[in-house]
Amino acid sequence: MTSAQLTITGPDAMQDLGRRLAKMLRPGDLVLLSGPLGAGKTTLARGLGETLGVRGAVTSPTFVIARVHPSLGDGPPLVHVDAYRLGGLDEMEDLDLDVSLPESVVIVEWGEGKVEELSEDRLHVVIGRAEGDETVENDVREVTVVGVGPRWAATDLSPLAG
């Protein structure tokens, strides 16, 4: 396992983290985003989609559960999933993410404990509010990025620090 710890100071910095992360991704990559409501998961996904060059605005897929953003160029499509309202693996399987995964970058918000079986290789991005200040107004986030599996074992995640 490889990991990186970052302090993100606002929405623009979170979107920029998504841009840096996108440069490390390739088709078949699974990214799990964890954190409380309003932590910046969708903001990070927006930066990722921007750099991947996908069609459509990357917005929270809460009410549609999953949204596919085709590539506007020769990059992979982005599959953006919000697993918050899904009960478990059975409901996740109904989305057929295993079919999309080989040729896409799949990002799953609230996917912890629900999608790990899709791939032994994944990035887990955990976003939390800065310790000591739990107020919504505080834009400072502590982000931990953990690479799991052979794909990420030798990958240097330090470029994510900017």
Q: pLDDT band at residue 92, thresholds of 50, 70 and 90?
A: low
Number of compact structural domains in the chain:
1
Domain membership of residue 162 (yes or no) is no
* Average of per-residue pLDDT across 33-56: 93
Share of the chain above pLDDT 70, in %: 83
Domain of residue 43, residue span: 2-153
Q: pLDDT band at residue 131, thresholds of 50, 70 and 90?
A: low
Question: pLDDT higher for 2 or 101?
Answer: 2
Note the pTM of the prediction, 2 decimals.
Answer: 0.88
Which one-letter DSSP state was computed for residue 157?
-
Domain membership of residue 161 (yes or no) is no
Domain membership of residue 19 (yes or no) is yes
Domain membership of residue 158 (yes or no) is no
Q: Residue-wise over 92-112: b if at least 16 C-beta within 10 A, else e?
A: beebebeebbeebbbbbbbbe
Q: What is the CATH number of the domain that holds 111?
A: 3.40.50.300
Closest to 125 in 3D by CA, of 138, 141, 140, 139? 141
